[in-house]
Amino acid sequence: MTLVEPAAGSAAPFAVAGVQMAVSSQGDNIAVMGRYAAHIRKRFPWVGMLLFPELCVFGPNPSLAQTLPGDAEERLCRIAKQNALWLIPGSLFEKDGERIYNTTPVINPEGEVIARFRKLFPFRPYEQGVSAGNEFVVFDVPGAGRFGVTICYDMWFPETTRQLVALGAEVILHPTMTDTIDRDIELSIARASAAINQVYFLDINGVADGGCGRSIVVDCAGYTLHEADTAAQIIPVEIDFARIRRERERGLRGLGQPLKSFRDREVRFPVYADDRSGDGALARLGPLAMPGGS
């Protein structure tokens, strides 16, 4: 595996504001998102990007799935352009023919959609009727660095973050929607993902219908920069790309160099073989199905 060189340009700091907002599942949240954008643009003029929670746009309601491109996405693009901000609007259900995906558009400050990321791991067996994506998304902010996108349950599969890092990602933007007792585990996964991949990890959850809050931002050395409580909150943080690159070169906290060690490994991992028809321990787990009664 070859690690991509960091994005070209100076290593200027760049600020991202996570928005832990109250999400309604009863309809359109775009107007609320627009008010947040205008407020942040005025209050924190040094912020260059907004990151909203998973399914923030219309809530966790597949019946409100949208065609992309379409009217909803155009409205999000206007928000980005009017406020001259990169916009990662959490996600929304996307209808593509007979399939529904959980999709995150990436919108630049000119109001252009430069990428769309489809969630790789729907929360099965609970998230029924949602198809899985199969492509990774990284993008560059000129003069700053390279960002990668994952959604919610994707973080439980460390290969997703590792692959984005192999594509050059220095920051992981991770909208989520968690309202269950495993939120504390996700906080640990965010910290571990940041440390073992030497990336900033921004895990932004919603409140109300959008989750139980407790968003977390972790830096490239595994230090927690902020952990939110359960109320609506704006979380502006500065990404230090020069520090990311220095720690990757010299070692996390001056110690291990996990990316280089992974690159230079001698071991192979048979678990990743394309042939998954064997009779190993994973094959014996049974079907991925809703558990029945005790």
In this prediction the pTM is 0.93
What pLDDT score was predicted for residue 278? 62
What pLDDT score was predicted for residue 28? 94
* Residue 253 contacts residue 221 (beta carbons within 8 Å): yes
What pLDDT score was predicted for residue 3? 47
What pLDDT score was predicted for residue 10? 54
Amino acid residing at 85: L
171-175 and 145-149 strand pairing: parallel
What pLDDT score was predicted for residue 271? 83
Domain ranges across the chain: 14-243
Give the integer Cα–Cα distance in Å for 263 and 97: 40
**What averages of pLDDT result for each successive group of 10 residues across the chain (294 residues)?**
47 90 93 98 97 97 95 98 98 97 98 98 92 97 97 97 97 97 97 98 97 97 97 97 95 94 91 71 85 75
- Does domain 14-243 fall under CATH 3.40.50.10860? My reply is no
3-state secondary structure the chain: CCCCCCCCCCCCCEEEEEEECEECCCCCCHHHHHHHHHHHHHHCCCEEEEECCCCCCCCCCHHHCECCCCHHHHHHHHHHHHHCCEEECCCEEEEECCEEEEEEEEECCCCCEEEEEECCCCCCCCCCCCECCCCCCEEEECCCEEEEECCHHHHHCHHHHHHHHHCCCCEEEEECCCCCCCHHHHHHHHHHHHHHHCCEEEEECCEECCCCCCCEEECCCCCEEEECCCCCEEEEEEECHHHHHHHHHHCHHHCCCHHHHHHCCCCCCHHHCCCCCCCCCCHHHCCCCCCCCC
